[in-house]
Structure 1
Amino acid sequence: MTQTVFAPWDDPSKKPLIRFDCVTKRFGDFVAIDDLSLDIFEQEFFALLGPSGCGKTTMMRMLAGFEAPTEGKIELAGQDIAPVPPNKRAVNMMFQSYALFPHLSVYENIAFGLRRGDMPKNDIDDRVGEMLKLTRLEKFARRKPHQISGGQRQRVALARSLAKAPKLLLLDEPLGALDAKLRQATQFELMDIQEKTGTTFVIVTHDQEEAMTVASRVAVMDEGRVIQVATPERIYEAPNSVYVADFIGDVNIIKGTAKPSGSDRYEILHTDGQPPFSAVSETSFSEGQTCHLAIRPEKVSISADRTADADNAVQGKVLDIAYLGNLSTYYVELPGGQVIKAQTANTRRVSRRGFTWEDSVWLSWTATAGVLLAE
């Protein structure tokens, strides 16, 4: 049985759940969101990713109803949501601080919003029971927030947010308060819960690894604009700009000028007196155009001798070595002074490192390993 791939953004007949249409948000003279258009589809786990101050939280606050757009409109399920007050929107927001009531039990925290909505008591019991089961908190129903761990408090906040079955759940840096290991485990729990409920999740984060792990698509933002929206794989393997390549993961950026050398093939002239690098690109560059070759360190091989059939091979000197347990990253200085990172997997538990500081080494990579970018 073939599994259907979830990609409503590739289907022209699918209508988005959320549509930002030419939205601008100003605070006085400051433009927080700059003429932004974006579609988010039902059942997506969508990540807004970017550095502090890029506008991602402002977007979320507009969706929640705490801010109104200065220009443009935001639609939820085809309806302009500007006139709809926050408490009447089919949207819930889970805050970074979790905002749990300390004097109420886990059960009462989850039931709080349902009681305010005049739900019959039996239905409240059933719904809270469902939420406790979904977030694996049944055993902790009678405890107060201070009697459970940070990860459990995070799940209570999630259960409370989902109890009213919102169309859309907004998560503002939801895992910021958790330690690294718990964060990782919770990311998978979030994905699992999102899949089971079918709720559309929009998460705001500055943690690229988190966005890449949980999201069906990621919007990389900078200064109030969306620079690229794509699946995590596309963002990593085919960034559309130096900014995105540099923001996501580790990357080498080699600046040069392009010279066409055949169908989709280019030579990149980078350092006086050094042979050009070879790259393949679907984007066309004119002769002499400034370009940037972005190559991930894991796509650069390091060896003692020149690889005979490599598209690109360059000799350099090992400046630094970062041992990261599962990986070693070698910082290699090229003749022109540029430093290139090459990564190798440490597959054996105890292995003698092949190269050490000051060693002369060869770096090589294929013509298709890098992405050629204009800016």
Structure 2
Amino acid sequence: MADTVFAPWEDPNEKPLIQFVNVTKRFGDFVAIDNLTQDIFAKEFFALLGPSGCGKTTMMRMLAGFETPTEGKILIGGQDMTGIAPNKRPVNMMFQSYALFPHLSVWENIAFGLKREGKPKDQIEARVSEMLRLTRLDRFAQRKPHQISGGQRQRVALARSLAKAPKLLLLDEPLGALDAKLRQDTQFELMDIQEKTGTTFVIVTHDQEEAMTVASRVAVMDEGRIIQVATPPVIYELPNSVYVADFIGDVNIIAGAATPANDGYDVDWAEGQPSLHVKTDKSFSKGQKCFLAMRPEKVAISADEPQDVANKVRGQIIDIAYLGNLSTYHVKLADGTMMKAQLANTRRLSRRSLTWEDRVWLSWTDTAPVLLEA
């Protein structure tokens, strides 16, 4: 049988595991979560992404039962969680600090919750062994937390959280304490473990790369609201607002006014500059203010004027960011607008033709940008 794409949110017959229904959370006069409704499905790896103070941690704490909604309700598996204590919910939470017991071995840390539940000894041993295997910690079972690395401590915390087989695991900035390389490796480990266990993971992060790597869907948040929920490719390629376009990755944003023109729109953006043409399914009225958002990797840069392209503008290289595999060119256009174009560094340094202060052409297709309402 062919693999079907995992997208339960597109199936009207699928029942969500988690339902936020018109949830508002206030702390005094401050509205942390503003009338939020959102479904999360079983086996999802769901990321709450946004800047500090956007409400993502409050959402997670309400799921865990550490905070109570001011209005609205939260359901898990169809059951209203109002008044249900944190330890009575089918939920486990992994904290940023890992919160391991320093005097207990790795094995004892993982077994701790199972012992407290009074599980039989043979069941505990079997479950801990399974968790050690899953997180590749068998060799470290007898060590104390201070005798293992940060990445290994992170896996102990994960194994301990999963030992009780929760329906739902909440991860609060779980990789925040790891260095960049280890973070990357651990992201893939997390995805692997999530897939193997089939547990629903909800992760809170302000790191867009992390969210885009691990998640089945990403919810981009701002000021207590979810601005867009979609799969990582949709969030990146088809942001629904300037806020989302700007929050995820690098982007060029040009303000202008739209005029309908052959199967798309002409965008007037600067005095004395030719208009830019964009194809889109969205509707704009004549002269409506809009933003053209486009990723730097979709912009070609050349010394010679390109022919037969939908859009081209002239500018001067002001800055070059060298990122190893890529270089990002910061180009100043005639009206002072700054644009970024990205090129893969396939040639050796000495063979590259473009440098600072060069006059260049930027060009792109009419389907490269997204046209957004102002």
TM bucket normalised to smaller: over 0.9
Which letter maps to 1:82? T
CA distance in 2, matches of 1:249, 1:118: 48
> What is the aligned residue count?
374
Which letter maps to 2:326? L
Q: Give the 3-state SS of the residue equivalent to 1:255 in structure 2.
A: strand
Shift in Å, 1:356: 1.0
CA distance in 2, matches of 1:288, 1:4: 44
Deviations 1:71-95 (A, max 9, x none): 0110001010112110000000000
CA distance in 2, matches of 1:303, 1:349: 17
Shift in Å, 1:280: 0.8
Aligned to 2:98: 98
Aligned to 2:341: 342
Shift in Å, 1:307: 1.2
Q: Identity of aligned pairs, percent?
A: 75
CA distance in 2, matches of 1:70, 1:134: 39
Q: Give the 3-state SS of the residue equivalent to 1:125 in structure 2.
A: helix
Shift in Å, 1:350: 4.1
Aligned to 2:33: 33
Which letter maps to 1:4? T
Structure 2: 5+ residue stretches without partners: none
Aligned to 1:356: 355
Aligned to 1:324: 323
Shift in Å, 1:281: 1.1
Structure 1: 5+ residue stretches without partners: none
1:16-55 map, 5 Å: 16-55=16-55
1:61-76 map, 5 Å: 61-76=61-76
Q: TM-score, normalised by structure 1?
A: 0.99
Shift in Å, 1:266: 0.2
Matched, 1:166 2:166: yes
Q: Give the 3-state SS of the residue equivalent to 1:291 in structure 2.
A: strand
Matched, 1:273 2:272: yes
Shift in Å, 1:371: 0.2
CA distance in 1, matches of 2:135, 2:155: 6
Q: Give the 3-state SS of the residue equivalent to 1:20 in structure 2.
A: strand
Shift in Å, 1:358: 1.0
1:214-233 map, 5 Å: 214-233=214-233
1:212-251 map, 5 Å: 212-251=212-251
Aligned to 2:81: 81
CA distance in 2, matches of 1:333, 1:112: 60
Aligned to 1:305: 304
Deviations 1:294-352 (A, max 9, x none): 00000000011111111001111111111110000101111111010000001134452
Aligned to 1:333: 332
Aligned to 1:156: 156
The CA RMSD over aligned residues, in Å, is 0.7
CA distance in 1, matches of 2:350, 2:106: 50
Q: TM-score, normalised by structure 2?
A: 0.99
CA distance in 2, matches of 1:348, 1:206: 35
CA distance in 2, matches of 1:367, 1:277: 8
Shift in Å, 1:353: 2.2
Which letter maps to 1:307? P
Aligned to 1:191: 191
CA distance in 1, matches of 2:237, 2:293: 10
Shift in Å, 1:2: 2.2
1:202-213 map, 5 Å: 202-213=202-213
Q: Give the 3-state SS of the residue equivalent to 1:210 in structure 2.
A: helix
Deviations 1:192-247 (A, max 9, x none): 00000000000000000000000000000000000000000000000000000000
Shift in Å, 1:54: 0.2
Aligned to 1:288: 287
Matched, 1:12 2:2: no
